[in-house]
């Protein structure tokens, strides 16, 4: 049976997801990549892994969000590059400099609330805001792109069916 995980994320609005998808396809041609593009409806920036899927864990994660206080923010990605990964599976990602600082701050707030409700393994000590575009064998060096921006107005709790290419948005919380 495939693994199932829970994570918190932010998603680009549909028009921006389409723009990201077009960039991914141009990048495949430009760099000779063969990996399949992540479908538009699954594009996201992960804020924190919650853990293996469990209905009780959904409720605990919801308690963390109930007390999170954060305002909407704007995110801007201005480069793409490959993360080091498993051989044959390096993620090509969107990354950013100052334009992703709001996501760094939001992630720290979220991880703090997750730990407060007992999700002790919550969050990594290092966090690199990114959007995964595809996985490929060919590494792509850091490459500037025309900035891709969107307003972040909500956080979503995602149930990922790993290996099936499916994400189910379980709950969303507005940033106010």
Q: Give residue-wise pLDDT tens across range 40-87.
A: 999 999 999 999 999 999 999 999 999 999 999 999 999 999 998 776
Q: What percent of the chain has pLDDT over 90?
A: 87
pTM: 0.94
- The predicted model gives 153-171 an average pLDDT of 94
Is 168 exposed, middle or buried, given 0-12, 13-18 or 19+ CB atoms closer than 10 A?
exposed
Helices (H), the chain: 14-31, 55-66, 101-116
Beta bridge partners of 90: 136
Residue 121 lies in domain: 4-174
Q: What percent of the chain has pLDDT over 70?
A: 94
d(CA 137, CA 93): 14
**165 dihedral zone (left: phi>0; alpha: psi -120 to 50; beta):** left
Please state the domain count of the chain: 1
Q: Across all residues in the chain, what is the average pLDDT?
A: 93
Using H for helix, E for strand and C for coil, what is the string for 130-161? CEEEEEECCCCCCEEEEEEEEEECEEEEEEEE
Model pLDDT, residue 163: 79
41: domain CATH number is 3.90.1140.10
| pLDDT tens digits, 112-147 | 999 999 996 666 667 999 999 999 999 999 999 999
Model pLDDT, residue 1: 46
d(CA 163, CA 176): 34
Model pLDDT, residue 123: 61
């Amino acid at each position: 049976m495939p693994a199932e995980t829970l994570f918190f994320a932010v998603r680009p609005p549909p028009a921006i997801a389409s723009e990201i998808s077009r960039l991914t396809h141009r990048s495949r041609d430009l760099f000779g990549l063969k990996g399949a593009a992540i479908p538009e409806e699954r594009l996201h920036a992960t804020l924190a892994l919650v853990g293996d899927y469990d209905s009780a864990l959904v409720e605990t994660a919801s308690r963390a969000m109930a007390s999170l206080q954060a305002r909407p923010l704007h995110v801007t990605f201005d480069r793409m590059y490959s993360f080091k990964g498993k051989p044959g599976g390096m993620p090509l990602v969107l990354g950013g400099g100052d334009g992703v600082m709001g996501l760094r701050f939001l992630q720290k707030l979220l991880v703090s609330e997750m730990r407060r409700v007992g999700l002790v393994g919550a969050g990594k000590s290092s966090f690199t805001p990114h959007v995964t575009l595809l996985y490929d064998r060919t590494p792509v060096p850091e490459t500037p792109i025309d900035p891709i921006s969107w307003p972040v107005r909500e956080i979503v709790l995602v149930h990922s069916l790993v290996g099936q290419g499916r994400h189910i948005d379980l709950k969303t919380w507005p940033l106010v």
